[in-house]
């Protein structure tokens, strides 16, 4: 039997798992992504706060597929799907498929506010995390030169969105302020540096249990974070953050972690979209198409247990991919398909050293044990043993010294001026 051609679009948790799980005797797989590496997004905040190097949580696709000769990779950006021709158009050419699996995930949602999109930092890629690190460290260097007086916009870090990303980032910067910056800059009074965490709902970690909400806010406030809930950013011009209650905060360091929206590709019917996600059945088939599937954050699957679709978390993405790989194999072998059913394994978030929250289906706990649990589970999710070891060493060093040695500022090369000189 001739092998079927599967194109997997996107190499996040869902796409990578899908490509790895497709069986070599039935499929030829082409993974397409605009990055050449898989990014471990749960630890982006540690790259942004100079706790880890990006290479520790980045995994080149071609290296990951050593030994899987039926899987190939193409570095390209998808432009349009042509369902009638079973063809995908990219900036690197067009590709034909028997099955197309869309796993493009999400991007930062600025809710149509172009001013915010122009001036605030987002953190959905490794490069964006590096840009945040560079910008924050350069702010500290500027403070070292100019001092705090008259530099209010430099001495405020504003994080919008108090989900896990925002909470973890605020905690990391607070620990940097407490333990690292006074040693790096002994002549500066970093008690004047303020980290703001803004949230539109009444609580931090609003999707978790009441215990987790209360504990996370308490931990943040113990670290000195200024937590403001029930507030929404209405305007940001690069210098001043304006809230819906009329309050303003001066800041040139604004990180937007307040929402996501799907990375949708042109070409499919508008009827296949709900809330910028592809409507899929219990087999992850996109509505109206027999050979196009969507998995992970971009998929909108309604079930009796989840009438508003599944949460956009890694566990859903990975298990939908596994189920779809089995179903496509069953389909080409003319066997019965299996509906996807999400089993909630729980949620967790860390705020700082010995400060974390864990919500499991059968147990909830906070504090030191939760923090060690968070560290262990995230370390186990890292793909390569070498990377696990590097991250463990970094975490152990930081644990015992309250320090790291990763505060590199990597500036992009400047373009030549009219005389041909580079600044």
Do 49 and 180 share a domain, yes or no? no
Do 168 and 251 share a domain, yes or no? yes
- CATH of residue 227's domain is 3.50.50.100
Do 122 and 251 share a domain, yes or no? yes
- Please answer whether residues 355 and 171 qualify as being in contact, where contact means their C-beta atoms are separated by less than 8 angstroms: yes
Task: Label residue 418 by pLDDT band (50, 70, 90).
Answer: low
CA distances from 413 to 146, 193, 356, 406, 421 (A): 25, 30, 39, 20, 12
- Please answer whether residues 289 and 81 qualify as being in contact, where contact means their C-beta atoms are separated by less than 8 angstroms: no
For the segment 341-385, what is each residue's pLDDT rounded down to a tens digit?
A: 998 889 999 999 999 999 998 899 999 999 999 999 999 999 899
Question: How many Cβ atoms sit within 10 Å of the Cβ of residue 114?
Answer: 8
Do 142 and 171 share a domain, yes or no? yes
- Token pair 């197309």 is at which residue? 100
Gap between the Cα atoms of 407 and 141, Å rounded: 12
DSSP for 341-391 reads: ------EEEEEETTEEEEE-SS-EEESHHHHHHHHHHHHHHSS-HHHHHHH
Which pLDDT score is estimated for 419?
Answer: 52
- CATH of residue 54's domain is 3.50.50.60
Do 248 and 129 share a domain, yes or no? yes
Do 91 and 193 share a domain, yes or no? no
CA distances from 382 to 71, 72, 377 (A): 21, 22, 9
Number of domains in the chain: 2
Do 46 and 104 share a domain, yes or no? yes
**Residues recorded for the chain:** 423
Among 237, 258, 279, give the residue marking a domain's end. 258
Please state which of the ranges 60-64, 154-158, 399-403 shows the lowest mean pLDDT: 399-403
Read off φ and ψ for residue 147, nearest 5 degrees.
Answer: 80, 170
Q: Is 154 a member of any domain?
A: yes
Domain, as residue range, for 192: 114-258
> What integer is the mean pLDDT of 154-168?
95
Q: Is 216 a member of any domain?
A: yes
Question: Percentage of residues in the chain with pLDDT exceeding 70?
Answer: 97
DSSP for 193-215 reads: -EEEEEESSSSTTTTS-HHHHHH
Q: Is 172 a member of any domain?
A: yes
Which pLDDT score is estimated for 414?
Answer: 62
Do 204 and 280 share a domain, yes or no? no
Task: Label residue 421 by pLDDT band (50, 70, 90).
Answer: very low
Task: Label residue 150 by pLDDT band (50, 70, 90).
Answer: confident
Task: Label residue 403 by pLDDT band (50, 70, 90).
Answer: confident
Largest interatomic CA distance in the chain: 74
> What integer is the mean pLDDT of 29-34?
97
Read off φ and ψ for residue 383, nearest 5 degrees.
Answer: -75, -40
Do 154 and 207 share a domain, yes or no? yes
Do 43 and 68 share a domain, yes or no? yes
The set of long-range contacts for 243-246, using a CB threshold of 8 Å and a minimum separation of 24, is: 243/198
Residues 6+ apart with CB under 8 A from 394: 51, 52, 56, 404, 406
Which pLDDT score is estimated for 416?
Answer: 55
Gap between the Cα atoms of 51 and 165, Å rounded: 15
Question: Percentage of residues in the chain with pLDDT exceeding 90?
Answer: 88
Closest CA to 343 of 376, 321, 319: 319
- Please answer whether residues 234 and 240 qualify as being in contact, where contact means their C-beta atoms are separated by less than 8 angstroms: no
Q: Model pTM? A: 0.92
Which pLDDT score is estimated for 316?
Answer: 95
Among 206, 227, 258, give the residue marking a domain's end. 258
Which pLDDT score is estimated for 404?
Answer: 79
Read off φ and ψ for residue 404, nearest 5 degrees.
Answer: -145, 165
DSSP for 387-404 reads: HHHHHHHHHHHHHHHS--
On the question of pLDDT at 54 being above 50, the answer is: yes
Among 214, 243, 258, give the residue marking a domain's end. 258
């Amino acid at each position: 039997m001739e092998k079927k051609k599967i194109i997997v679009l996107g190499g996040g948790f869902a796409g990578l798992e899908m490509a790895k799980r497709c069986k070599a005797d039935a499929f030829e797989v082409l993974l397409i992504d605009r990055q050449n590496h898989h990014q471990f997004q749960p630890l982006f905040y540690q790259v942004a706060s100079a706790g880890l190097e990006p290479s520790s949580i980045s995994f080149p696709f071609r290296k990951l597929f050593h030994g899987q000769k039926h899987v190939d990779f193409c570095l390209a950006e998808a432009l349009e799907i042509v369902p009638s021709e079973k063809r995908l158009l990219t900036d690197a050419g067009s590709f034909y498929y028997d099955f197309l699996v869309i796993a493009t995930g999400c991007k930062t949602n600025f809710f149509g506010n172009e001013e915010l999109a122009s001036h605030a930092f987002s953190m959905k890629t490794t490069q964006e995390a590096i840009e945040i690190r560079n910008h924050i460290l350069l702010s500290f260097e500027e403070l070292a030169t100019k001092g705090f007086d008259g530099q209010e916009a430099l001495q405020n870090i504003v994080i919008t969105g108090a989900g896990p990303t925002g909470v973890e980032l605020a905690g990391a910067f607070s620990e940097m302020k407490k333990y690292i910056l006074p040693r790096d800059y002994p002549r500066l009074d970093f008690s004047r540096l303020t980290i703001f965490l803004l949230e539109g709902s009444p609580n931090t970690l609003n999707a978790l249990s009441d215990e987790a909400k209360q504990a996370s806010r308490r931990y943040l406030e113990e670290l000195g974070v200024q937590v403001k809930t029930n507030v929404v950013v209405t305007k940001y011009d690069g210098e001043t953050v304006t809230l819906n209650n009329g309050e303003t905060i001066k800041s040139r360091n604004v990180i937007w972690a307040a929402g996501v929206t799907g990375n949708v590709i042109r070409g499919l019917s508008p009827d296949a979209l709900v809330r910028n996600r592809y409507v899929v059945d219990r087999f992850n088939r996109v509505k109206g198409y027999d050979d196009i599937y969507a998995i992970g954050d971009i998929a909108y699957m309604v079930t009796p247990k989840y009438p508003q679709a599944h949460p956009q978390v890694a566990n859903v993405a990975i298990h939908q991919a596994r189920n779809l790989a089995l179903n496509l194999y069953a389909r080409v072998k003319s066997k019965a398909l299996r509906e996807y059913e999400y089993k909630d394994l729980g949620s967790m978030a860390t705020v700082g050293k010995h400060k974390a929250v864990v919500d499991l289906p059968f147990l909830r706990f906070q504090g030191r044990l939760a923090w060690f649990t968070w560290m262990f589970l995230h370390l186990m999710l890292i793909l390569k043993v070498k990377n696990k070891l590097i991250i463990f060493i970094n975490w152990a060093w930081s644990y015992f010294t309250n320090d790291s040695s990763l505060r590199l500022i990597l500036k992009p090369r400047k373009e030549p001026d009219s005389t041909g000189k580079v600044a």
